[in-house]
Structure 1
Amino acid sequence: MKKLKAIVVASLIVTFCVACTQEQGAPMPINPEPKSEKNEVLGTWIIDLDGDVMLNPQTSGLKYSNGFLYTVSDASAHESQILRLHQISMGDSKVVKKYAINDYSEAVKNSCFFTYLSNKPDYEALAPLPGEDNAWVFVTEDASRNEQLSETCQQQYAESGSTFYPTLVVRLQLQGESLALTHVRPIQFPSSAEVGDFPNDGIEGLSITRDNRLLLGLERDSKKQPRVFELKLGSDFWQESGFAKVQDSELLLPTFEQGNHPINGMDVVYPSSESEGYLLAAARNDNELWVVDLAKKKPTKRIKFDFFAPSDTSQNDKESEPECADKHLMDNSSIEGLAVVADELWMVNDPWKANYHKNIVCPADQHKYQKMAPLLFKMKIDKAWFE
């Protein structure tokens, strides 16, 4: 009997101690497997002002504002697309206007970053600024291909916590038919974040919460993990000129032991007025959408996608052409922009030059892929994502 009591007591002690360890110790990484079922979504080619598909715009980011979708080109785009904000009609996927960035405030001209910003800035994401009519925030990524900072500026902004040339967030104001770049702030990451110096694996996603936090999605850190950082967009944010210090959002993102799993386009959705919101992020290499609880209570859901493109079947009656189906599964889509519009999710891809030709299955579509033309995708937001 004494032995039995001893065993029971020992068992209770072990159980209690394990519970204590789990409660007091650091939480285990949450890394759910993606849902096995795939969502199929069919894209539409974006038509440029000349009536053809877009010529290598390297579409980066996607956001909704005032009845239209907007995207921006990065530094590797065709010359005619760089330094342009593209306004796209949601009804027919046509480019309506291109707003050129051709005006700079005196503060920007006198900053350390004017040469870069007026040449080929590598804009990778954008977001409209809440409460400010026709004002935007853009973020830069890779500046390694451009003229470097002066020695004085290098010393001033050496402690970026990441790349040698710091990441920049800029404010732009639409003025008539063009954009004025009014303010610039370099980003400083905390050294404890171990972001690392990877010029082409930096911030690729922007989104603003309803409490005015700017969320910044990082493709990878020094451990090849995707990250989300944040900063508060206070009333005096753009009036300062020094580093804008970001902090880790501490969201429950998946972690990976191997491979590259960058996140790119992002937007925030609020399923109800009481909800603290969810961050929707595109994992471009994995054809996944991550549904991240901003309240940090629920594990991230990983939703698998199959992206299809429409095929030109007009030449099916010609003997020299093989029969083409009306759509084809894309070998490589590379989603890099998300926009939440009411109960719909819109996505845009950024043609990956090294892999985009792998999508060619119908000869009539060859010129579209050779032009590195992007597509728009849309689908209804599934309420089950937030359960």
Structure 2
Amino acid sequence: MSELPQAGGESGRDGFETRAIHAGAPHDPVTGAVVPAISLATTFAQSAVGEHRGYEYSRSGNPTRAALEACLADLEGAGHGMAFSSGLAAEHAILSLLGPGDHVIIPGDAYGGTFRLVDRVHQPMGVTYTSARLDSSGVGSDNLAGAWQPTTRMVWVETPSNPLLGVADIAALAEATHARGGILVVDNTFATPYLQQPLALGADIVVHSTTKYLGGHSDVVGGFAATNDHELAERLAFFQNAAGGVPSPFDCFLVLRGVKTLAVRMDRHCASAAAVAGMLEEHPAVSQVLYPGLPGHPGSRVAAHQMRKPGGMVSFVLAGGEPAALEVARSTRLWTLAESLGAVESLIEHPHRMTHASVAASPLAVDPGLLRLSVGLETVSDLIEDLTDALRRAG
């Protein structure tokens, strides 16, 4: 098995955009190629038994994957990074740090796939869980204390959360978690390392679905986990290799390609999302807008402190409830009705029936009148006009 990937050393002195382009991807020493090669080899020659050049078998380590892991670890300020075949594969590896009898606290508005993984995969194996509002509107640290049990080993946080855009105070939750002997995991998918640095704020592990903003083009599925704790990294790398949930070299290449433009894309996503949220806040058909950049958002002050910008996701509730929400979702022309998020095209979805259907009968159930927007890179005036027309048609 190859050594754990290391972050980019001296490149840490460079700016984010520079590191996104250069970290983990040096010019090829033989050809001078400026793009990392897609290494399709499944096995690697050894000069003698146990003597190799860092790679033995591609599930255990692959040069293209190593380049991606080094790049993303650098961007997260992490000493170690592990790439996985999907975001849920990365989450599964992290939750596998827990054993029978251990307890995890998950957010009260977690992604439906995360809830399903905890509730239907890890709970039958003996892990217990409690859901609690950990965002600033729920006084996260106080709720964490109330949910804590003698067997609690892990606290899982999304910030901003999916789909309610709740903002958790990472530093406060890290302090409260560490004081009780637990580890804090932060899902940084919505924010990306460009907007937010959970490890620098005290988190122990950061996790991503690289399918979303990091890939950025709706053409690759992947996941990533990073940490500065060497012991945790060794255990995660063991699960990565033993369970085999690794991305293909081509998938790693696609994510690396997407990361190069992450900063400029996120700037545009954020600017357009702010404009869309402002329009929705004034629209009579909308009863509530959930966007961390709005002054009335309960997490706006925390977001302003720990995030570079408020992000490219917007959720809103229709005054007409679920019928109006379904009509709007059906009626848009430029907003594609589809699951996922974080890519160049704008997406609209109905979480209650789509991404969060698995939590419909749980305390994490989503308001049926809520729609979630992933604001893309189209001309923002076109997006606003299309959404306004759909709202009008919904009455």
Q: Place the TM-score, normalised by the shorter chain, in its bin.
A: under 0.3
Structure number with the higher strand fraction is: 1
Larger Rg: 1
Under a length normalisation based on structure 1, what TM-score does the superposition of the two structures give? 0.24
Under a length normalisation based on structure 2, what TM-score does the superposition of the two structures give? 0.24
